[in-house]
Structure 1
Amino acid sequence: MALSSSSVLSGGALDLIAAWFRALSEPSRLRIIRALESGDKNINELADATGLTQGNVSRHVQSLADAGIVGRRREGISTVCYIADNTIVDLCENVCTSIQQRLTAKAQRLTDPN
């Protein structure tokens, strides 16, 4: 959803947006999203990829699913997770690029203060 500077959002819409960003406020959830960028994974695979316990992965996946960022499906006895909203991949890429540029600029200022 593209927003112009004159867009007015209802309180309910702002609540949904805030919930979406709250779901991203936990570093472990960002690790899970990063792991899912390469493809669907079950809970065990996510635990291996992130270094989290299966219980923690399940809890964080629930939060991401509640926000509509991650989806889940049953395959036999496994729960397979996938990125349900590809907007998140672009958002994370943009944020990472911005932070990298700021860190690079800061490092340059420290090494060359002129």
Structure 2
Amino acid sequence: MLIYLGKLNYSPYASDEIFAVIFRDNVQIGDRVSVLLQWSKNASGHVKANSDDFGTVNKVSGNVTGEREIEFFHNEKDKTYYWYKGKVTGNKMTLSMYNKSGEEVAKNIELQLVFV
């Protein structure tokens, strides 16, 4: 299990809120992944609402420097509403968050590997 932890800023819904990405096995195509986060105020107006989504890694590609590009939840975007694309370098993950229409709603979400 790999757990990456960071903060989400997505105005007006999240300001410096907890954001966690959990991979069941590794970061490989088809592997299970979960995103857990807290909204400052969600679209329904609930304050400090928790959110959890589950799905799969859709894309992984690497280069000679060891950096890997990843994408997850894209195939489940109708169920999860949001999907993610980014890169993993060493113990750091940087993501962009997209809504199901493909609009980038949050970028440069920085997460650190905190559990292996």
Q: Same fold (TM over 0.5)?
A: no
Q: With structure 1 as the length reference, what TM-score do the two structures score?
A: 0.26
Greater Rg by CA: 1
Q: What is the TM-score of this pair, normalised by structure 2?
A: 0.26
